Amino acid sequence: MPTPDIDPHRIASHPATVGALGALVGLRWAPGAGWVDKLINVAGGTLLAGVCGPALAEAMRLSAAQLSVAGLVLGLFGISLADAVMRGIRALDLAKIADTWLTRR
């Protein structure tokens, strides 16, 4: 069985990895009531950095070093975005929305 080729530099410089570090640093100022909320926010920041970082780098023609910085910033501020989305979902009164939608004429 061949040995997998694991490149530690590639893993360490990936936008999701750098974004996760940014999100963990952002926990210092993280919104969210408890640890579960904070973990969800870190996951959201990491996901934002991992998905949007390469797209941003391609659109803006960023170098690899600039992509790492963009991933860090996206992870750092992505936790606030994830918290805002979660608060918005919690604020929705889904029962009232469903009732209004079902009883429309």
Q: Tell me, what's the pLDDT at 105?
A: 60
pLDDT at 30 exceeding the cut of 80? no
- 33-71 confidence digits (pLDDT tens): 688 888 888 888 888 888 888 898 899 998 988 888 888
C-alpha distance across the termini of the chain, in Å = 65
Q: What angle do CA 78, 67, 24 make, to 5 degrees?
A: 35
User: Residue 3: what are its φ and ψ, rounded to 5°?
Assistant: -80, 135
Can you tell me the distance from the alpha carbon of 24 to that of 46, in angstroms, rounded to the nearest whole number?
9
Q: Please, are residues 23 and 76 in contact by the beta-carbon 8 Å criterion?
A: yes
Can you tell me the distance from the alpha carbon of 17 to that of 10, in angstroms, rounded to the nearest whole number?
10
- 83-93 confidence digits (pLDDT tens): 888 888 888 88
Cα torsion 2, 4, 63, 71 to 10°: value is 160
pTM for the full predicted model? 0.70
Q: Tell me, what's the pLDDT at 59?
A: 93
Among residues 68, 74, 59, the alpha carbon closest in space to that of 11 is found at: 68
Q: Tell me, what's the pLDDT at 28?
A: 80
- Domain ranges in the chain are 13-102
**Beta-carbon contacts of residue 20 (< 8 Å; ≥ 6 apart):** 42, 45, 46, 49, 75
